[in-house]
Each structure stands twice: as structure tokens, then as C-alpha cells.
Amino acid sequence: MTLTKLFPFLRWFPPTRENLRADFIAGITIAMILVPQSMAYANLAGLPVVYGLYASFLPVIVASMWGASRFLHTGPVAMLSLMSAAAIEPLATRGSDEFIQISLLLALMVGILRLLLGLFKMGVLINLAAHPVIVGFTNAAALIIGLSLLNSFLGVPMPRSDSFLADLSQVFQQIPQGHIPTLAFAVGTLIALKLFGRYFPKLPGVLMVVIFGIMISQFTGFENKVTISADQLADEKAAQIFSTLAENKLMLKGVKAEQKNISEQLAEHAEDPHLHLQAELFRLQSEEKILKLNIYRDTVLAHEQTLVPQTHEDGRTVYVVTTESALFNKVYRLSGFSDGQYQLSSGGTVVGTIPSGLPEFTVPLMDFGLISDLFATAFIIALIGFMEATSISRALAAKSREKLNPNQELIGQGLANIVGSFFQSYVVSGSFSRSAVAARVGARTGMYAIVSAFGVVLVMMFLTDYLYHLPKAILAAIVMSAVFGLIDFKSMLHAWKVRKADGIAGMATFIATLVMAPRLADGVLIGVVITILLFLASTMKPRSEVLGILPSGSLAGAATHDLPPISDNFVVMRFDASLVFINAAYFETAVMKALSHCPQAKAILVIGQGINRMDASGEEKLRALINDLQAAGVTLAIAGFKKQVVEALERADLNRVIGKENIFSNRNIALKEMKARYDNEDS
């Protein structure tokens, strides 16, 4: 038993021939999905696609061996990829070496947090986020992921500012400059994936789309890139725009380097405030924001410059701006810079060169300033990823009658991220789509995930050259098709029907996440805070009601059922919450309000079946209330209190203050005694 706790994968042994065969088939099937998905999610995370392949190797193996679920497949996922990119975007430029290093650091932090949560059995923390909050966040995140890919569908630049909605509006304004072939690849991919899923569900639709996409891209010369020198650009306006853009990018790189240098100096001398360095850092941060705005503006202007080649009188090929429609003519646009030269493309963006070979061992960047900046996001990502993985595992475990250990799953997910971060992997978590496919095709043990990881190894070792011509629009469409299944507005509506407060929490989280994007973690925090506030509000003013008697003889709310009072001489009321510090004052208010309906009453009977516990504040308030009522000639009686509450009354010696004759085990006995005691006095 001890060994299987330390090494959960020992449960797979001894393997049977049937299990090995089933796991091998399932692993190969998942590998066909994993390779294109991992590249797509890495692109979403702002990383070169090869890092998606790296994240699909060792993390998959480690999570499978030390996780709890035999079906859960770990690796790159859409939501955490977007959250990772959003967290790192303010700290580094997408795709840069610094961005990659911070991504690995974030994976390490998430892994350590998950591991600690698992070791200390803190899986219960997921209960902080109520189901409506998770549904609201998931719907908003799915929409954000889908809409963030719109520029990839159109082949136009997208700004990366502090407001996702503002960035999106900029993309919509560029629709007239969209690249039709790129849009065709993206829309065609969505249609093809839908058709494969409906009519050929057993075929690896994602892989088929990727293969056909690569073939079409290569055959049609989709990328069609050329490199020219500055003197080959014959249009002065375009030359000025390109030159300014290149200069601003170099300046941004220099500003980031200066920021890093100052941050290191401040970290080395933490005891000395170095106010002049801090002031310089703030200045550089402001300069960075201005440069990013200028770079985006110039990128849009550069994209609008459609160029065509012409033969100069000296025989050289030069490029001039044309006003001809890009829809029916072959025109070139700026696609990048290389060693002082301009790269032009008449087509769309492809994956390009992917390094072959296995990921090398690297120690993640250890920068305490960055760790401090990323900690809150890392904690949210750790919890969100765990919630996602747990919900998948529970759904699959319910079908297979598998026993699930959430804390063990946390340990497995934590180790996967920690190990992965040392081998160039960014944040990973459990994937719903791949796990569901694995269960459907008959996976028996976690061995199938290891088979899928080695399938990725084969691609990294021998097949990366064949992926060069894969259009990035296809990767964007793969992500979009995956997140479509996350959108579930019916659950939000259902939460509203069940309880309006839950509906409010879900809708508030949905709106907050959209408005706060790309800071998705803030949306979750707002949802959690709103949930807690609504819970506290309902706890501070729980339901309490004066009771009457239905024709059937049972007790029910007098106001709710339009019933007359039980008696003019005593009042019966129900209090539906524990008597604790947060609602003790409201309990007193509820009792006095109940008595106000019957001014002649000599007693009030509190039905306390809903009172599960009582703290010191509740006891003190109850004691003071009894004394005040006795001074006014009113007796307080209780009935149906739970055993633990009665014991608390006895420990506080409050049973003597109430009087044992006024404490009843159930409401029927209490009602009979109250009638005999107070109604018979009048007769």
C-alpha cells in the first residue's frame, strides 16, 4: 500500500496483453491529436510552436505516473496557455528569449504550488470558487480565446495592451485589410473538423487537417517570402514606416534590457531603497508602454502598405506601393526584419523552421522580482488548472467507477510542471478533449499517455522539417474548435433559475473576466469575492419566519401561506441558520419582529432545526435576549435544537437561564405544551 502511494503507476503492473494492446492503440490515437494541438496551444501562449511539443513529452509521462486518474491526459491546454501569455505579456515581448524564460519560471511556480497543495491535502481550496463562478469564468475565457484568434484568421496584426476589448476593436477595424487565403485556411479547417467529427469520428480529424493543410500550403506557395535590402524599397513613405518600426523595435529591446539591469541592481541591494533607480525604472516602464503603442501603430501602417515588384532601369528588382486590390492581385506585405533587411510575404504566416531533437535540460530563470510579480497569477493558474483537471477526472471516473484522489492528482500535476520547467516546458494541465478520446477508444491504464508522449518524441526527432509549411491559421482554427465546447450559457441560466444569487455571481464573473482581460486571473478573483460577499449577505440575514398551521396540521410560514397566527398568547417562529457572530444581531431582530405581530404574547417558541451550531457571540446574544424578554414578561422557549447546540447551551450554563421546562426535543411536543400552558390560561 505504501509503495503504491509513493509510486501510483505500480497499479498498472503486471500488465496484461489486452491492456498493453488497448493502451498502445489509445496512445497512438492521442499522439495524432496531441502533436497539432500542442503546437496550436504554444502559439496561443505566445511561444514558438516547438515549446508545445516539449510540453507534450516529460510532463505527460510524469503526470500519468504520479497522478490519480488513469484516463486524464496532461499537456498543453487552451485556457492556461492564454492565461500564461496574459501574465507574461506585460513583462516581456512575445516570442523573445526573455518571454520563454519567464514562461518556464511560471511553470515551475505553478508546479511547486500544486505539489504543496497536494502534499498538505489542500485540494479543498477549489471549493472557494463556486460552480457558477467557474462556469462564468470558463464561458468568458472560451470567448476570449476564440476572439483573440480573430487576427490569425484575418492575417492582420493585433495590439497587446491592458484591454482585450480595445485590442479586439482594433482588429475589427482591419477587416478590410484581411488576407483572403489565410481566412480560407482557417474557415476551411473549422468546417473540416466539424465534418470529421460528425461523419468520420474514428479518424484523427485534427491530424488529417494538418497534413492536408501542409500539402496545400506547400503546393500553392502560401508563404512566398522574399528578403530585400532597404534600397530595394522604392516608396519613400513605406520606407519611412518600415524604418521607424524597425527602430522602435530595437529601442524596445534596449529599454527591456535596461529594465532588467536596474531590476537586478535593486534585487542585489534590497536593503537600500535606491530611489533614483526606482524612478528610472518607472520612467523606462512608461517609455515601454509608449513604444508598444507606437510599434502597434506602425505595424498596422506597415501592413497597409501593399507592394509589388518592378524592374528598375538599372535591372534591379524594386518594390513599390500599389493601390490595386490585394484580393485579385499578388501583393507583398512586410512580415519581419532580418539583419537590417526587410522580409516581405505575399502569402500568409506559416510555422516555419522547428528545431529537431529532444528538449535540453535548463534551469529556469530565478528572479525574485519576477516571482513576486507572477505569484498571484501562478496561484490562480494552479487552482484553475486543478479545477479543470479534477472536473475531467470526476466525469471520467463516474463512468468507469474509478476511485479518485484529488490530492494525488495535485501531486501528479505539480511534479509534471516542475520536471517540465527544467526541460523547456511551459504550464500544463489536464485536457478534456484528449482525456475523453482516450476513454472512448478504450485506454486501460495511464500507460497510454506514455505511448502518446513517445509519439511526440518521434515527431521531434524526425518529422519537424515536414511541419515548416503548416499555416498558423490552421493552428488558430484548431484552438477555436477546441474551445467551442467550453461555451455553456445554459449552465449560467440554470444557476440563475436555481438561486438568483448564484446566477448573479456567475454573470458577474463572466462580465468581469471579459472586461478585465487579458488579466484573466483578476476575473476569477472578482468572482470569488462576489461569491463570498453574497454568501455572507445570505448568512447575515438568514431566513426566519413566523409559523402557522396548515389544514393538514403541519407547520408552515404564516406570511407565505397566508395563515392566521397559531395563538394570540404565544408566537412560533423558525430560524434557518446557525447562530454565530455574523447573524447574532439579526436573530435578535427576527425575534423582536416576530413578537411585534402579536403584542399580547407571553412567550415565543423558536424552532431551531436549522441551527447546526452556536458560537460564543451567538450564545452571548441569546443570553442577553432571554434576559430582556424576561424583563418584559415574555418567555423564550426552544425546540428541535441539534445535539451539538444543546451541548453548547449546557456548557455555557444557558440551559439554566432558559429553564429546562422551556427546552423541548421536538416541535410537536413543544407546540402541545405551549398550547396547554398559555391557551388554557385564558380558558
For the ranges 96-100, 180-184, 262-266, 348-352, which has the lowest average pLDDT?
262-266
Judged against a pLDDT cut of 90, whether residue 450 lies above it is answered with: yes
- 663-664/635-639 β-pairing: parallel
C-alpha pair distances (Å), 371 with each of 91, 259, 267, 423: 12, 16, 12, 19
Judged against a pLDDT cut of 90, whether residue 58 lies above it is answered with: yes
Predicted confidence (pLDDT) per residue in 283-303, tens digit: 888 888 888 888 888 888 888
CA atoms within 13 A on the CB side of 63: 36
Closest CA to 106 of 527, 434, 521, 526: 521
Q: What is the pLDDT of residue 215?
A: 94
Judged against a pLDDT cut of 70, whether residue 490 lies above it is answered with: yes
Across all residues in the chain, what is the average pLDDT? 86
Q: What is the pLDDT of residue 683?
A: 47
For the ranges 25-29, 180-184, 260-264, 625-629, which has the lowest average pLDDT?
260-264
* Cβ atoms of 583 and 614 closer than 8 Å: no
Alpha carbon distance 569, 56 (integer Å): 75
**Average confidence (pLDDT) over 572-582:** 89
Q: What is the pLDDT of residue 337?
A: 86
Predicted confidence (pLDDT) per residue in 630-645, tens digit: 999 999 999 989 989 9
Q: What's the order of all strands across the beta sheet hosting 570-575?
A: 555-557, 544-549, 570-575, 603-607, 635-639, 663-664
For the ranges 66-80, 209-223, 347-361, 384-398, which has the lowest average pLDDT?
384-398
Q: Is 618 exposed, middle or buried (0-12, 13-18, 19+ CB in 10 A)?
A: buried
**Average confidence (pLDDT) over 599-616:** 90
Cell digits of residue 119: 502534499
Helix (H) or strand (E) holding 654: helix 654-658
Q: What is the pLDDT of residue 127?
A: 63
Q: Is 530 exposed, middle or buried (0-12, 13-18, 19+ CB in 10 A)?
A: buried
Question: Residue 579 region, left (φ>0) first, then alpha (ψ -120 to 50), else beta?
Answer: beta
Q: What is the DSSP letter of 609?
A: T
Judged against a pLDDT cut of 70, whether residue 272 lies above it is answered with: no
Q: What is the pLDDT of residue 482?
A: 82
Alpha helices in 441-579 (DSSP H): 447-458, 472-484, 489-498, 500-516, 520-540, 558-561
Judged against a pLDDT cut of 60, whether residue 682 lies above it is answered with: no
Confidence bin at 561 (pLDDT 50/70/90): confident
Predicted confidence (pLDDT) per residue in 95-153, tens digit: 888 899 999 999 999 999 999 988 887 766 666 667 788 888 888 888 888 888 888 89
Percent of the chain with pLDDT over 90: 32
Question: 72 phi and psi, to 5 degrees?
Answer: -65, 125
* Cβ atoms of 435 and 72 closer than 8 Å: yes
Q: Is 418 exposed, middle or buried (0-12, 13-18, 19+ CB in 10 A)?
A: buried
Alpha carbon distance 474, 183 (integer Å): 9
Angle, CA 144 vertex, CA 138 and CA 146 arms, to 5°: 100
Does the global pTM surpass 0.75? yes
Structure-model confidence comparison of residues 117 and 271, the more confident one = 117
Omega before residue 59 within 30° of 0, cis: no
Q: Helix, strand or coil for residue 433?
A: helix
Alpha carbon distance 117, 58 (integer Å): 21
Cell digits of residue 384: 484553475
Q: What is the DSSP letter of 461?
A: I
Omega before residue 518 within 30° of 0, cis: yes
* Cβ atoms of 557 and 546 closer than 8 Å: yes
C-alpha pair distances (Å), 412 with each of 15, 69, 113, 348, 634: 21, 10, 12, 40, 62
Judged against a pLDDT cut of 60, whether residue 11 lies above it is answered with: yes
Predicted confidence (pLDDT) per residue in 495-544, tens digit: 888 888 888 888 988 998 888 888 877 887 888 888 888 888 888 888 88
Q: What is the pLDDT of residue 401?
A: 61
Q: What is the pLDDT of residue 421?
A: 95
The residues pairing with 506 across neighbouring beta strands, listed in sequence order, are none
Structure-model confidence comparison of residues 391 and 300, the more confident one = 300
Angle, CA 206 vertex, CA 202 and CA 212 arms, to 5°: 110
* Cβ atoms of 534 and 560 closer than 8 Å: no
